[in-house]
Amino acid sequence: MKIIEVDNLVKVYGKGKRALKAVDGVNFSVEEGEIFGFLGPNGAGKTTTINILCTLLLPTSGRALVAGHDVVRQQAAVRKSIGLVFQDPTVDEQLTAEENLLFHAILYNIEPASKRRARMETVLKMVELYERRKDTLKTFSGGMKRRLEIARGLMHYPRVLFLDEPTLGLDPQTRHHIWSYILELRERENITIFLTTHYMDEAEFADRIAIIDHGKIIALDTPDALKSMVARDVITVHTADDERMAEIVREQFGLDVRRNPDGRGFSFKVDGGAEFIPKFVEQSPVHVLSISLRRPTLDDVFLELTGRQIRDEEVTDKDRMRQRARMPVRGHIAR
Amino acid sequence: METPIAVKETGMGDITHSLRSIGIIWYREILRALRNRAMIVSSLGMPIIFLFIFGEGLSPSMGNLTRFMGGGADVNFIQYIFPGVIGMNVIMASIMSGVSVVWDREFGFLKEVLVAPVPRVAVVLGKVLGGATVGMLQGVMMLIFAPLLGVRLSVGMVLELIPVLFLLSLSLTSLGVAIAARMRSLESFQMIMQFILFPMIFLSGAMFPMRDLPAWMDFLVHINPVTYAVDPLRQIVLRAQNIPEQMLAMLPQFGLGVEVFGHAMTIQDDLMIITIFGALMVVLAMWLFSIRD
């Protein structure tokens, strides 16, 4: 059964010359029980799409159904069937873990109180925060807050859980931890998970991935199928004279060479990379400083499709400013 | 390119669910206010300055404010501004808790509320009632200064003040929520303080008698809703100061009360204006909140 259906969705911000097409005719559907990933750089339209699906934004045109309900005309029904974990924390730091969940439970009409308490205990235990339930969130780390948000998103038995960059800004260990909850979740609650990310390794966990760039879906398939689009191995070389060597590779081997964005070295794709390397080093007229071989990743898929690397745009100035502006404020100004 | 018209939530949905939601939003406001000790303490700072420095300092120069009426009663400047400062505290607390919606937006919590299957009407009501409760308590808290300032208190007066404070706070919180409903950045916050909050307080007769004011100021005082919020507080407080009944009625003529087109405003008149203003603001806030982009 299709739990999300999106038909030619468009969202334009602003009007006239300053209009910005954040989502530009997006089509896809998600099967129930699937982990579906949206992969793309910042500003690609991932969050805008999620915001439309969770009824926070109105689409400019097009249609979207979540759990069979129209996101424009049947807001309340859509809201009841979804859980959300946003990019930025949406918990109240002045309240305890338990109070945050209670607030949520009442707004989502989980009655009576006994049912509420039981569910609260289940979700808190699942994210290993039950012992900390009486503590105010001011004392929680970023990873703990995110875990609490996941627990909260599950409180009302949603059919779809939206995770917008669920591990953004967390350290690798915490990211790993959060993913183990997410995968466990699917086992336990048979829930559909819709996530956005710009971490390649995270996208690998998804059953299917839509790669989105400039508001358009440019590829949609399983991670393996996407990677097979760029089946060849990627070899990155750094030599004493990259300019000359790149020319040689281009002419002698007839390969397409790409200079690395940082200006050091270049890379190319080749079949049977492991056998290619000794041959290459032997024949090289200039001194080879370093050479490496990589199996294709989703990064390469993105590069292949757009000519850019996702990471180039990972942190924009605006993000950096926002981070800086928010960090000190959060602790001191409470209201 | 076609832009869709704004879609609004209609109706209250399941009534008990809505009431419970209003309750929990109210409860959160109270919890936040109580946990924020620093804010409680700092909210006393301004009134202390106004009462003990500004008030005590100006009081000797101002003398008996009723001397133009031929004496017969003694109303000093402190007694005059005491209710004004209560009003100021309530106004600051209420508008701030209304505007705290912007904080909730900035720190993300608002999203949690806005994606919940709860009508926006309930969200606004919970917020407004919470802010009003906090504002009222901030006003009541001021009464502890009365004995230190030589302002007489009576049980009747305090009991009369409480519901009035709640009503004032309710309508001013609504104003705050309405202002904040479409506000996107914290920077606008400063602007609100300077261009809305302070002018409203100073042009309300809270800080000085409204006698022989220049015409433009007199006009601004009269269109300022806060004027009608402070006036009932002053009437209630002054009435407890042993002033003869016939003199109380004359106070507005001498700038110690509010006169509209020659009519001295009674407490009921003031409350009516504030109620109408508050009702308009609640409706406005609900409307602004229910628009989706």
Of A9-13, A80-84, A247-251, least confident by mean pLDDT is A247-251
Q: How far is CA B39 from the centre of its chain?
A: 17
Whether B3 and chain A come into contact, CB under 8 Å, resolves to yes
- Cis amide linkage into residue A285, ω under 30° from 0: no
Q: What count of other Cβ atoms lies within 10 Å of the Cβ of residue B223? A: 8
- pLDDT, average across residues A323-334: 37
Whether A291 and chain B come into contact, CB under 8 Å, resolves to no
Write down the pLDDT at residue B180: 85
Is the pLDDT higher at B6 or at B179?
B179
| Tokens matching residue B32 | 């936040």
How large is the ipTM? 0.83
Q: Which of A24, A50, A72, A103 to mutate to test the interface with B (most CBs of B within 10 A)?
A: A103
Contact yes or no for B35 and A60 at CB 8 A: no
Query: Could you tell me the pLDDT band of residue A149, with boundaries at 50, 70 and 90?
Result: very high
Within-domain flag for B3:
no
B11: left (phi over 0), alpha (psi -120 to 50) or beta: left
Query: Could you tell me the pLDDT band of residue B62, with boundaries at 50, 70 and 90?
Result: confident
Q: With the CA atoms of B93, B97, B99 and B101 taken in that order, what torsion angle do they form, in degrees rounded to the nearest 10? A: 170
| Tokens matching residue B293 | 């982009």
Query: Could you tell me the pLDDT band of residue B159, with boundaries at 50, 70 and 90?
Result: very high
Residue with tokens 């999300």: A4
The residues near A187 (Cβ < 8 Å, ≥ 6 apart) are none
Write down the pLDDT at residue B72: 64
CB-closest option in B1, B20, B115 to A56: B115
CB-closest option in B3, B4, B109 to A92: B109
Query: Could you tell me the pLDDT band of residue B71, with boundaries at 50, 70 and 90?
Result: low
Query: Could you tell me the pLDDT band of residue B70, with boundaries at 50, 70 and 90?
Result: low
Write down the pLDDT at residue A325: 42
Question: Taking CB atoms and an 8 Å cut-off, how many pairs form between chains A and B?
Answer: 105
Given a cut of 90, is residue A105 above it in pLDDT? yes
Write down the pLDDT at residue A332: 34
Given a cut of 60, is residue B175 above it in pLDDT? yes
Query: At A271, which helix (H) or strand (E)?
Result: none
Q: Which CATH architecture has domain A232-295?
A: 2-Layer Sandwich (3.30)
Write down the pLDDT at residue A310: 66
Whether B152 and chain A come into contact, CB under 8 Å, resolves to no
Write down the pLDDT at residue A231: 65
- pLDDT, average across residues A237-262: 83
| Tokens matching residue B14 | 């399941």
Query: Could you tell me the pLDDT band of residue A34, with boundaries at 50, 70 and 90?
Result: very high
% residues pLDDT > 70 (chain B): 92
Across A42-51, A105-114, B104-113, which has the greatest mean pLDDT?
A105-114
Given a cut of 90, is residue A26 above it in pLDDT? yes
| Contact status, residue B258 vs residue B228, Cβ threshold 8 Å | yes
Write down the pLDDT at residue A331: 31
Residue range A152-189, pLDDT digits in tens? 998 998 999 999 888 777 788 878 888 888 888 888 87
Given a cut of 80, is residue B253 above it in pLDDT? no
Q: What is the CATH number of domain A2-227?
A: 3.40.50.300
Write down the pLDDT at residue A323: 45
Given a cut of 60, is residue A320 above it in pLDDT? no
Within-domain flag for B243:
yes
Q: How far apart are CA B153 and CA B86, in angstroms?
A: 14
| Tokens matching residue A285 | 């007229």
Q: How far is CA B48 from the centre of its chain?
A: 18
- For chain B, the average pLDDT equals 84
Q: How far is CA B139 from the centre of its chain?
A: 9
Whether A12 and chain B come into contact, CB under 8 Å, resolves to yes
DSSP category for residue A209: E
- pLDDT, average across residues A281-307: 82
Nearest CA in chain A to B25: A103
Write down the pLDDT at residue A261: 77
Query: Could you tell me the pLDDT band of residue A327, with boundaries at 50, 70 and 90?
Result: very low
Contact yes or no for B113 and A107 at CB 8 A: yes
Q: Which residues of A touch B292 (CB under 8 A)?
A: 55-58
Q: How far is CA A150 from the centre of its chain?
A: 15
Write down the pLDDT at residue A208: 94
- pLDDT, average across residues A290-314: 75
Within-domain flag for B161:
yes
Q: What count of other Cβ atoms lies within 10 Å of the Cβ of residue A12? A: 18
- For chain A, the average pLDDT equals 84
Q: B119 CA to chain A: closest CA distance, Å?
A: 9
Amino acid code (one letter) for A222? T
Helical H segments across A23-155, by residue range: 46-53, 75-81, 97-107, 113-126, 142-154
Burial of B16 (0-12, 13-18, 19+ CB in 10 A): exposed
Q: Which residues of A touch B15 (CB under 8 A)?
A: none
Contact yes or no for A334 and B4 at CB 8 A: no
Q: What count of other Cβ atoms lies within 10 Å of the Cβ of residue B158? A: 14
Q: How far apart are CA A301 and CA A220, in angstroms?
A: 11
Q: Which residues of A touch B31 (CB under 8 A)?
A: 94-95, 99
- B/e letters for B133-144, b = 16+ CB within 10 Å, e = fewer, are bbbbbbbbbbbe
Kindly list the domain boundaries of chain A, sorted by start residue.
Answer: 2-227, 232-295
The 8 Å CB, 24+ separation contacts for A177-181 are A177/A143, A177/A147, A178/A143, A178/A146, A178/A147, A178/A150, A179/A205, A181/A126, A181/A127, A181/A147, A181/A150
Q: Say if strands A35-39 and A208-213 run parallel, antiparallel, or are unpaired.
A: parallel
Given a cut of 50, is residue A314 above it in pLDDT? no
Whether A99 and chain B come into contact, CB under 8 Å, resolves to yes
DSSP category for residue B54: I
Write down the pLDDT at residue B1: 39
Domain that holds residue B64: 15-290
